[in-house]
Amino acid sequence: MTAPVLEVSDLRVRLRTPRGPADVVNGLSYTVGPGETVAVVGESGSGKSVSVLALLGLLPARVATVSGRALLQGEDLLTMKPERLRQVRGPGAGMVFQDPMTSLNPVLTIGRQLIEGIRAHGDVDKAAARRRAADLLGEVGLPDPERALDRYPHELSGGMRQRVVIAIALSNSPALLIADEATTALDVTVQAQIIDLVEKLQAERGTGVIWITHDLGVVAGIADRVLVMYGGRCVEDGTVDDVLERPAHPYTRGLLGALPDLAEPVDGVVPDLATVPGTPPPPTDLPKGCVFWPRCPVRGDARCEHEQPPLAVIGSAAATLPHRAATWCTEGPEGGRAG
Amino acid sequence: MSDDVLVRARGLEVHFPVRGQGLRRKQAGVLRAVDGVDLDILRGETLGLVGESGCGKSTLGNALLRLIPSTGGTIDFAGTDITSLSGRGLRELRRRAGMVFQDPFASLDPRRTVAQTVSEPLEVHGLRSGRSERAQRVGELLELVGLDPAVAGRYPHEFSGGQRQRVGIARALAGEPDFLVCDEAIASLDVSVQAQVLNLLRGLQRQLGLTLLFISHDLSAVRHISDRIAVMYLGRVVEIGPAAAVGTDPQMPYTQALLSAVPLPHPALERQRKRIVLRGDVPSPSAVPSGCRFRTRCPYVFEPCDDVDPALQPAGAPGQLAACHLHGVVGTPATAPDGVTAQP
Amino acid sequence: MTSQPGPAASSAPKPTAPLKPARPRWRETLGLLLRNPTAAVAAALLLGVILVAILDETLAPTGPNEIDVDERLQPPSGEHLFGTDDLGRDIFSRVILGAAVSLRVGLFAVGIALVIGSAIGLLAGYYGRWVDDVLMRFMDMLFAFPAVLLAIAVLAVRGPGSGNTALAIGIVYIPIFARVTRASVLGVREEVYVRASRSVGASDFRILTRHVLPNAAPPIIVQASISLAFAVLAEAALSFLGLGTQPPNPSWGLMLAEGRGYLQIAWWLAFFPGMAIFLTVLCFNLLGDGLRDVLDPRQRTLMGAASGAAPAGSEEGGDR
């Protein structure tokens, strides 16, 4: 196995908020290999976005305390000097956010923004940078890339803008691409196009991808490995088949059960969806014991209320990618899809 | 379920003028948000309305409730023409038809308590006289949507998104409406909370015999909650039929593409699934293509598509209609160009 | 709801978020305001000034116009805290009584501007189209006039005196309130909760008074606080020019004008009324700034008890 692109261990993020300290990420460890896609799944407040913002030093230092280790190609991002981090952000790790409009400067042309990124990280003359920019736009499927260079962001549709953002993120051939709800604001048909695009580019370049989303359908389509976050912790991880087809944590099961499923045939009366009662806990007020127990339908162990279960391997430990879950109740009812 | 029609739209149009730039802001074109919709919503059914952003589904929902003025066509509500209702009649319509909005963080006035918000329809329509009677009714409504009546005195910012959406539903139900339009009512909620609200809406629909128009971009949710599904594209209903039929065996190429693009939470299935990836973007509603409006992206485009605007016609399962020439060429031939033929 | 397990029973979680008892909004606002030290000090000082203005006669050691020729131009001392002026009147007493005059004129002026200006702004912002065009063009015309000139014109027509001074200043400030209100209303008008209110059948009047005005109010309140400062200053300026309060009545501006000639030999004549103006104006401004922070809705969500603390706003509402 080749060396991982990213190796995160025991990442912790604490934010200062007006309502007291919030433990947004509590000991997160994972690796991303070259050409591999790791999906990070969770609901609002689960810490999924903050955990990657922390990696790239994008959290305001005033309010955020970050600890742990995050080796990007062997270099620790968390102890890196700000200047070095800026250098790394382009060629090391590119980022794509949910709303393309916020990552593009509305008063600069697409070309300006792309060329700027290319020239900031490499000794390229203007003409060469422009050619490269046009090539990139062509690669991400923008019709008529030469003309698109001189357009402003507002002249493009949402899907086209997100392609531009991806082009910018890929402009320096990063080893790692982080997509934070990158297709959430897009229509499904456009989402399908973007996902196809990322998969194609990834296959060509061997980029490692972290795909942050709340949409388990997207996860099923794109991920090699899945990490389910809840209350700032990884509560379950494993291969996409393990996690989605054989979920072990009551929360993962609950999420899957709560999803209306298009693949399921309808005949007669459609039953109600299984639900996870309540709402995710705010990071300022995490429950003691297992983070999930106040909403948990199982609670099959005396330790649930008092002790956070560690991530433990389920099934065969010999697997190259072990399936792990942080629950005391591994013997719970099988098959998450209630109803 | 009785089969009579509660809401009937015929040739409904909502066109917005597009202002040009410059000082005099002369009208530069027309944005056809809703462009000739024929739709029957049956009493007691849940009709799902799906489509991508900009297809006009939300505008249609608002226009049916007369919250956005229509520019053409007619709307009947419970047998009465409401197209140009005003005054007392319009107020009565407001009582009999409610709306649940997308963003529960924006749809509640931050300066008013839950009780004040929920009792507004009661006050407006004089449904309960006296403070204590209204308070009691507010309590009942909160209980109906699964909230503790004791929270009536609290402000919206003290609630989570799901709870706020329940408050919004309670407000919409306060006038004891027959018809409820849910405009992307679950889109802003977390997955686990979406299921709670979906179940709540389904339960309420059954319990109160409501007629529901469930507008959403989420096909999975729509198929789950709906009896029938209508699919919109560029301001027009292009397919409609029983949820099972439209959700599994769509007859209109656009619906097929839409359905195939919905990601499913089954990795094995996803790997072998064939996606119909459409070319390009949805054309702008201010430049609707001539003939079939889907022809610029349709993989099956053939002869009549350029010239004949297809009408909804029976296709597939009983009760299923699709606006597509693949099921026989029926429709209005394109007349002399009226200036809005579009090609990028 | 007891007989059949409705949808509520099957899926409803008990509300978990609310923990503390509901508090009226204005008390919360006040609490937040007093947590800002600058604003708290400013508010306390202003409260003092207002108290002084109300208690005027009882606090003043002598009458404001009591002339004592033997005690002319006395420097500050135990007997005359702020000294005496060229007619031997006690400056401390005159500053106290001047507070009443200055504040009354200020409040009256801002009151006029607030009521008329906000009403115009509300109508213009809510109804838009030609209502907006007509009203706001008129406001622009009023605004285009140099303020002092306009005030002088009003006073020239109506004659000097503190009542007319207030009226003049009030008219000058109407366009400011109209603009602030209109801008605020334009934002609120598009809020979903306004649409929601319309969807249940609420009338325009109801929407305007129950939803639009309360939510559009914060910037107007801030503007009122800051305008009070300017009104006090304007009253002083007009009195200084001889158009405002007429002698022998005490007004800070008038006292400043009268003291000007003695700056070389008796600094206290101008210094104390000047300080009074300075402090009052400063306090109104600081209070305005404090209010701006507290009433800012973004600030509000930060401090409020919204559910998922949503650090950096990155996840809250991000899920569709």
Pairing of β B211-216 and β B46-50: parallel
Distance from CA of A155 to the nearest CA of C (A): 24
Establish if B136 touches chain A: CB-CB under 8 angstroms: no
Going by pLDDT thresholds of 50, 70 and 90, the confidence category of residue B251 is very high
pLDDT of the residue at B86 = 86
> Which are the contacts of B197, defined by CB distance < 8 A and separation ≥ 6?
B162, B165, B166, B169, B185, B186, B189
The pair phi, psi for residue C133, each rounded to 5°, is -60, -50
What percent of chain A is predicted at pLDDT more than 90?
A: 16
Average pLDDT for residues A308-324, to the nearest whole number? Answer: 80
Annotate C274-303 with b (16+ C-beta within 10 A) or e (fewer): bebbeebbebbbbbbbbbbebbeeeebbeb
pLDDT of the residue at C24 = 57
Residues of chain C neighbouring B46 (CB-CB closer than 8 A) = none
DSSP state letters, B150-213: GGGGS-GGGS-HHHHHHHHHHHHHTT--SEEEEESTTTTS-HHHHHHHHHHHHHHHHHHT-EEE
Indicate whether C6 belongs to any domain.
no
Average pLDDT for residues A291-299, to the nearest whole number? Answer: 86
Residue C317, sorted as left (phi over 0), alpha (psi -120 to 50) or beta, turns out to be: left
Average pLDDT for residues A72-86, to the nearest whole number? Answer: 86
Among residues A111, A146, A171, which one ends one of the domains? A171
Instruction: Evaluate if residue A332 carries a pLDDT over 70.
Output: no
Range with the lowest mean pLDDT among B117-131, C186-200, C293-307?
Answer: C293-307
Question: What distance separates the 2 farthest-apart alpha carbons in chain C?
Answer: 94
A78 with A194, same domain: the answer is yes
Rg (CA), chain C: 25
DSSP state letters, A5-20: SEEEEEEEEEEEETTE
- What digits encode the pLDDT tens for the residues B136-192? 999 999 999 999 998 898 888 888 888 999 999 999 999 999 999 999 999 888 888
**Range of the structural domain that residue A121 is part of:** 102-171
Distance from CA of B17 to the nearest CA of C (A): 15
A222 with A125, same domain: the answer is no
Nearest to A189 among B161, B198, B261 (CB): B261
Average pLDDT for residues C13-35, to the nearest whole number? Answer: 58
The overall average pLDDT reported for chain C is: 77
Q: How many angstroms from the chain centroid is the CA of residue A335?
A: 25
Burial classification of residue B115, based on how many CB atoms lie within 10 Å of its CB (0-12 exposed, 13-18 middle, 19 or more buried): buried
Whether residue A278 and residue C13 make contact (CB cut-off 8 A), yes or no, is yes
The residue length of chain B stands at 344
- How many C-beta neighbours within 10 Å does residue A335 have? 11
> Closest by alpha carbon to A274, among A291, A289, A293, A252?
A252
Query: How far is the C-alpha of A163 from the C-alpha of A100, rounded, in Å?
Result: 9
- What digits encode the pLDDT tens for the residues A183-222? 887 788 888 888 888 888 888 888 999 999 988 999 998 9
Indicate whether C154 belongs to any domain.
yes
Going by pLDDT thresholds of 50, 70 and 90, the confidence category of residue C20 is very low
Nearest to B267 among A244, A258, A280 (CB): A244
Among residues A115, A149, A171, which one ends one of the domains? A171
A19 with A156, same domain: the answer is no
Query: How far is the C-alpha of C314 from the C-alpha of C274, rounded, in Å?
Result: 50
Residues of chain C neighbouring B95 (CB-CB closer than 8 A) = 200-201
Query: How far is the C-alpha of A224 from the C-alpha of A97, rounded, in Å?
Result: 21
- What digits encode the pLDDT tens for the residues A121-167? 777 888 888 988 888 888 787 878 888 889 888 888 777 888 888 88
Q: Which of A31-45, A152-166, C23-37 has the highest mean pLDDT?
A: A31-45
For residue A187, what is the nearest residue in chain C, using CA coordinates?
C320
DSSP state letters, A108-139: S-HHHHHHHHHHHTS---HHHHHHHHHHHHHH
A87 with A2, same domain: the answer is yes
Binding partners of A (≥3 Cβ pairs within 8 A)? B, C
> Closest by alpha carbon to C118, among C213, C204, C32?
C213
Question: What distance separates the 2 farthest-apart alpha carbons in chain B?
Answer: 68
Average pLDDT for residues A44-60, to the nearest whole number? Answer: 86
Q: How many angstroms from the chain centroid is the CA of residue B164?
A: 21
A152 with A58, same domain: the answer is no
Mutate to test the interface with B, among C129, C189, C199 (most CBs of B within 10 A): C199
Average pLDDT for residues B44-71, to the nearest whole number? Answer: 93
Average pLDDT for residues C8-23, to the nearest whole number? Answer: 41
Whether residue C199 and residue B155 make contact (CB cut-off 8 A), yes or no, is no
Pairing of β B236-242 and β B331-333: unpaired
A256 with A135, same domain: the answer is no
Three-class secondary structure of residue C72 per DSSP? coil
- What digits encode the pLDDT tens for the residues C236-277? 888 878 777 777 778 887 888 788 788 888 888 888 888 888
Establish if C10 touches chain A: CB-CB under 8 angstroms: yes
Q: Which residue has the higher pLDDT, C306 or B236?
A: B236
Q: Running DSSP on this structure, what letter comes out for residue B85?
A: -
Residues of chain C neighbouring A279 (CB-CB closer than 8 A) = 13, 16-17, 307-308
Query: How far is the C-alpha of C199 from the C-alpha of C207, rounded, in Å?
Result: 11
Establish if B158 touches chain A: CB-CB under 8 angstroms: no
Query: How far is the C-alpha of B148 from the C-alpha of B82, rounded, in Å?
Result: 37
Going by pLDDT thresholds of 50, 70 and 90, the confidence category of residue C312 is very low
A84 with A120, same domain: the answer is no
Establish if C298 touches chain A: CB-CB under 8 angstroms: no
Query: How far is the C-alpha of B247 from the C-alpha of B225, rounded, in Å?
Result: 12
Instruction: Evaluate if residue C5 carries a pLDDT over 70.
Output: no
Mutate to test the interface with A, among B105, B190, B249, B269 (most CBs of A within 10 A): B190
Structure tokens belonging to residue B305: 């598509």
Establish if B262 touches chain A: CB-CB under 8 angstroms: yes
How crowded is the C-beta side of C151, counted as CA atoms within 13 Å? 29
Provide the number of structural domains found in chain C.
Answer: 1
Indicate whether C318 belongs to any domain.
no
Residue B51, sorted as left (phi over 0), alpha (psi -120 to 50) or beta, turns out to be: left
Three-class secondary structure of residue B33 per DSSP? strand
Query: How far is the C-alpha of A220 from the C-alpha of A231, rounded, in Å?
Result: 22
Query: How far is the C-alpha of A112 from the C-alpha of C149, rounded, in Å?
Result: 50
What percent of chain B is predicted at pLDDT more than 70?
A: 94
Query: How far is the C-alpha of A229 from the C-alpha of B239, rounded, in Å?
Result: 39
Among residues A137, A171, A205, which one ends one of the domains? A171
Indicate whether C15 belongs to any domain.
no
Query: How far is the C-alpha of A227 from the C-alpha of A224, rounded, in Å?
Result: 10
The overall average pLDDT reported for chain A is: 84
Going by pLDDT thresholds of 50, 70 and 90, the confidence category of residue C6 is very low
A295 with A227, same domain: the answer is yes
Query: How far is the C-alpha of B323 from the C-alpha of C233, rounded, in Å?
Result: 72
pLDDT of the residue at B93 = 93
Provide the number of structural domains found in chain A.
Answer: 2
**Range of the structural domain that residue C269 is part of:** 55-299
Pairing of β A20-32 and β A6-17: antiparallel
Residues of chain B neighbouring A241 (CB-CB closer than 8 A) = 267-268
CB contact at 8 A, A77 and A55: yes
Whether residue C12 and residue B140 make contact (CB cut-off 8 A), yes or no, is no
pLDDT of the residue at C181 = 93
Query: How far is the C-alpha of C6 from the C-alpha of C20, rounded, in Å?
Result: 29
pLDDT of the residue at B2 = 43
- How many C-beta neighbours within 10 Å does residue A112 have? 15
pLDDT of the residue at B24 = 63
Distance from CA of B7 to the nearest CA of A (A): 24
Q: Residue type for C13, please? A: P
Element housing C198 (H / E): helix C192-199
Q: Residue type for B192, please? A: S
Whether residue B199 and residue A266 make contact (CB cut-off 8 A), yes or no, is no
Instruction: Evaluate if residue A338 carries a pLDDT over 70.
Output: no
Instruction: Evaluate if residue A308 carries a pLDDT over 90.
Output: no
Q: Which residue has the higher pLDDT, C61 or A153?
A: A153
pLDDT of the residue at C266 = 81
Q: Residue type for B266, please? A: H
A166 with A184, same domain: the answer is no
Whether residue B203 and residue A256 make contact (CB cut-off 8 A), yes or no, is no
ipTM field:
0.84
Indicate whether A97 belongs to any domain.
no
Interface of A with B in 292-331 (CB under 8 A): none
- Cα torsion at C35, C37, C39, C43 (round to 10°)? 90
Going by pLDDT thresholds of 50, 70 and 90, the confidence category of residue C320 is very low
CATH number at residue A213: 3.40.50.300
Whether residue C309 and residue A184 make contact (CB cut-off 8 A), yes or no, is no
Structure tokens belonging to residue B98: 């409610």
Establish if C9 touches chain A: CB-CB under 8 angstroms: no
Going by pLDDT thresholds of 50, 70 and 90, the confidence category of residue A337 is very low
A228 with A319, same domain: the answer is yes
Instruction: Evaluate if residue A110 carries a pLDDT over 50.
Output: yes
Query: How far is the C-alpha of B48 from the C-alpha of B200, rounded, in Å?
Result: 16
Burial classification of residue B92, based on how many CB atoms lie within 10 Å of its CB (0-12 exposed, 13-18 middle, 19 or more buried): middle
Distance from CA of A124 to the nearest CA of B (A): 32
Establish if A273 touches chain B: CB-CB under 8 angstroms: yes
Interface of A with C in 191-230 (CB under 8 A): 214
The overall average pLDDT reported for chain B is: 88
Establish if A271 touches chain B: CB-CB under 8 angstroms: no
pTM, two decimals, is 0.82
Instruction: Evaluate if residue C299 carries a pLDDT over 80.
Output: no
Indicate whether C274 belongs to any domain.
yes
Structure tokens belonging to residue C300: 């509000």
For residue B153, what is the nearest residue in chain C, using CA coordinates?
C22
- What digits encode the pLDDT tens for the residues C87-127? 778 888 888 888 888 888 888 999 999 999 999 999 999 98
Q: Residue type for B114, please? A: V
H runs (alpha helix) in chain B: 57-64, 87-96, 114-124, 131-144, 161-173, 191-208, 219-225, 243-248, 253-261, 267-272
Residues of chain C neighbouring B90 (CB-CB closer than 8 A) = 201
Indicate whether C251 belongs to any domain.
yes
Say how many Å lie between the first and final Cα of chain B, rounded: 47
A127 with A51, same domain: the answer is no
CATH number at residue C102: 1.10.3720.10
- How many C-beta neighbours within 10 Å does residue B328 have? 12
Pairing of β A93-96 and β B236-242: unpaired
| Token pair 């948000």: residue | B33
The pair phi, psi for residue C143, each rounded to 5°, is -70, -30
Element housing C182 (H / E): helix C162-189
A31 with A131, same domain: the answer is no
Query: How far is the C-alpha of A193 from the C-alpha of A160, rounded, in Å?
Result: 10
Q: Which residue has the higher pLDDT, A324 or B49?
A: B49
Range with the lowest mean pLDDT among A138-142, B36-40, C214-218?
Answer: A138-142
